Structure 1
Amino acid sequence: MALRVRTLAPEEHLAFLATLESASFLQTPAWGEVKREWRAESVGWVDDADGGEKVIGAGLVLYRRLPKMRRSLAYLPEGPIIDWSDPDLGRWLTPLTEHVTTQGAFGIRMGPPVVTRRWTAATVKTALAEGATQALGDVPADHTDHAATAVADQLRALGWRPPAENATGFAAGQPRHVFWVPLDGRDEDGLLKGMNQLWRRNIKKAAKSGVVVTRGSADDLPAFHELYVETARRDHFNPRPLTYFSTMFRALNAEEPDRIRLYLAHHEGDLVAATTWVRMGSHVWYSNGASSTHKRDVRGSNAIQWQMMRDALDAGATVYDLRGITDTLDEDDPHFGLLQFKVGTGGEAVEYLGEWDLPISRLLYSAFDLYMRRRG
């Protein structure tokens, strides 16, 4: 049965999301408000069978204009939300292409929310200890989803470019590899026992040192941002402005109360760590984090993560998502320490299908790619 794609009103988009167990918060109408430098559009896949219109899929499309031109790249971060198990993905993706072309898109980038492989913390830890493998992808996975391979084959047949071909230029906006802590069927004792000895020791040390973790409000965002900027200088990344987080806090909580939280860890009155926590249904994300160079020995980062995990458990979440990890297992890589930190939680490394591109106008697509390379 053929499907068509049309623009959705925000309330239609939210009504569809409400039927799901979970979806990425990057695929909500509110995220379009956060990404102000892009033009946002909610789109829906409509099935007109049986004489009635039914929305059976949805996505947030972000349009980024090519400099000095009226054409745009259409981007669906961690989306769209469609039936990725359909053996005929063309009936979903062809009308999407037709729709965004009418909106002036010269190409599409999307991140199918399809998991391909998973590695337990024990498997990753063993690979790190042996030091013989330089990349996570070269380590035999504990679980491989062969249905995801079929999705990749369909995308190639439909003319989409795989992630390996998008490694340069306007690089992937969302991480292909993330780290999850499964929560389903577990309690606090089980979570704690699943962590490595260093994590358990650091959680105890933070409590003994008097670290106090509290929930913050929008009024605490300036304090969070000051610590975030300090973290950016130390870890060599470009910080986002305070207005970005203010908009994110307002927009996400306006769409659904308590979707985003701010956590603060203090030691003797000093802010030593601060994080944001986002929930969509059964999935909770650790979104942004900051920590002080001063007093790192009181282990505020461990304390705040432990509190967020317990709160995710109390909220009925089945997954606590620590977001991106590096694919490299090389201890000389600057992100190696972050990988070790996340592996210590006892969760699992997860690989998505990655972000795929479809050039609609190859000339303009190449021009935009060149522009983004020069910006980088």
Structure 2
Amino acid sequence: MTTHQRVERAEDGAAPNGALRLRPITAAEHSAALRRPGPYTRSFLQTPGWARVKTGWQAESLGWWDERERLAGSALVLYRQIPGTRRSFAYLPEGPVVEWADPRLDRWLDPLLDHLRGTGAFAVRMGPPLAYRRWRAATLKASAGPGRRIGDVLPDMVEPLGAAVGDRLREGGWRRCGEDGQGADAQPRLVFEIPLAGRGLDDLWTGLNQEWRRNVKKAAHRGVRTAVEGAGSLPAFHDLLRVTEQRDGFSLGRELDYYQRQYAALNAEQPGGMRLYAARYEGEMLAAHTLLTAPDGKRVWYQTGASADHRREVRPSNALQWRMLCDAVLAGAEVYDMRGIPDDLDPASRAYGLLRWKTGTGGEAVETVGEWELPLQGAVNKALHRAMNAYLTRR
């Protein structure tokens, strides 16, 4: 995401210009478009496979075509119908994939909004896949203190495109979630990324802090073994996840069949789209993490981690993350995304422990542009909107 200023090229290398038309596309067309290299994140949440994961939602793949009939952008739209009505809420998680640097952004968004109105959607939420602000791990460590939050700290970098897109959306009547009474983001706005582009394994190793290197060595010395395992290990992973949730005081609310459905759908669309990594000690699974890969292979996501309460002294989670990072580098990924982190920089808080664990990898905290909403049918029914926002926040 360090090359946001580049223009995404159409399939023959020409930048799309002039009028754009929007129409539904097949899953095959959509998948092919997402595999094409470009400057913006191709999130797993924007793949046709993700539509098969999300129960209770209707899905549609859309494509923008330029005047020469080239597919220039794509979107996965999820529709949630409000019970007892013919109205629905349209949601584009971490999308759409369009030319966000285009000074005429409305030529991309206007056809989308017209289409969504035609479906009967009363409102739309989208999450442009852009970064806004960045903080290096060293900056966060130096800024930690009682009552401190990441948002209080001067960022190391402000992304011009992310800031500009936010301004343009606000001018167009969009409202950022979490502001002006809008619901909270359904996807994490604050994430932790480890840049991989141009780095080898030695660079990755020296980027770890001393504690991380010590723990990875300890796991190797004690005989912890890491491996990519198949769908048959998902039940054991889910058992560990329940242990983790109880220990750390949270609940994702996801049953085993959710992960089985996700594993089947993402790997059917793209071999290796979802992998399950496991760390075993004396044959026992002590930690298991899921890793997702972008359609173009440029980004991987550490999605869900689970670990046992016992034998934590052999450091299975550190060993597992190191294996996953090494595999990502060797596969040519440019970013290792560890997903959401808390905003809390208070060392006395429980949340700070998760942040500290992730910052030990030497990456950076990234605030994304976030999710934005727009009413589509005049005055939005507030009760419908409250109900939908409550559902998204809970999920």
TM-score tier (shorter): over 0.9
CA contact (8 A) 2:175 2:182 kept: no
Identity of aligned residues (%): 50
Cross-structure match for 2:50: 31
- For residue 42 of structure 2, what is the amino acid of its counterpart? A
Deviation (angstroms), 1:328 = 2.5
Decide whether aligned partners of structure 1 residues 246 and 300 sit closer, same or farther in structure 2, where only a CA change above 3 A counts.
same
> Is residue 72 of structure 2 the alignment partner of residue 56 of structure 1?
yes
Q: Where does residue 317 of structure 1 map in the other structure?
A: 333
Q: Distance in 1 between matches of 2:328 and 2:195?
A: 11
Shift of 1:333: 4.1
What is the alpha-carbon distance in structure 1 between the residues aligned to residue 25 and residue 179 of structure 2? 32
User: More displaced, 19-28 or 247-256?
Assistant: 19-28
- Aligned position for 1:78: 94
TM-score normalised per structure 2 = 0.89
State the partner residue of 1:19.
36
Contact 2:192 2:341 (C-alpha < 8 Å) held by counterparts: yes
Distance of 1:203 and 1:237 partners within structure 2? 28
Whole-angstrom CA distance in 2 between matches of 1:205 and 1:125:
24
Deviation of the 1:238 alpha carbon: 3.4
- More off after superposition, 23-32 vs 146-155: 146-155
Contact 2:230 2:276 in 1 (8 A): yes
Where does the alignment leave 5 or more consecutive residues of structure 1 unmatched? none
Distance 1:152 1:121 in 2: 25
Q: How does 1:82-121 map onto structure 2 within 5 Å?
A: 82-121=98-137
Is 1:46–2:65 an aligned residue pair? yes
Q: How does 1:152-167 map to 2 (within 5 A)?
A: 152-165=166-179
SS at match of 1:164: coil
TM-score, reference length from structure 1: 0.94
Equivalent residues, number: 370
2:254 is paired with a residue whose SS is coil
Matched letter for residue 238 of structure 1: L
C-alpha spacing 1:344/1:232, structure 2 compared with 1 (3 Å): same
Q: Which structure 2 residue ranges, 5 or more long, are not aligned?
A: 1-17
Is the 8 Å Cα contact of residues 146 and 346 (structure 2) preserved in structure 1?
no
Task: Render the CA deviation track for 1:197-254: whole Å, top value 9, x for unaligned.
Answer: 1111111111112111111001111111111122122222133011111111111111
Structure 1 residue 142 and structure 2 residue 156: aligned? yes
Over residues 270-290 of structure 1, what are the superposed CA-to-partner deviations in whole Å (9 max), with x where a residue is unaligned?
211001111121111111111
The residue matched to 1:165 in structure 2 has which SS? coil
Of the structure 1 ranges 290-299 and 305-314, higher mean CA displacement relative to structure 2 is found in 290-299
Q: What's the CA shift for 1:4?
A: 2.2
> Does the C-alpha gap of structure 1 residues 263 and 374 become closer, same or farther in structure 2, counting only changes over 3 Å?
closer
Offset of residue 334 of structure 1? 3.7
Q: Give me the whole-angstrom Cα distance separating, in 2, the residues matched to 1:258 and 1:151.
A: 33
CA distance in 2, matches of 1:81, 1:135: 31
Match of 2:276 in 1: 262
Distance, in Å, in 1 between the alignment partners of 2:390 and 2:107 is 36
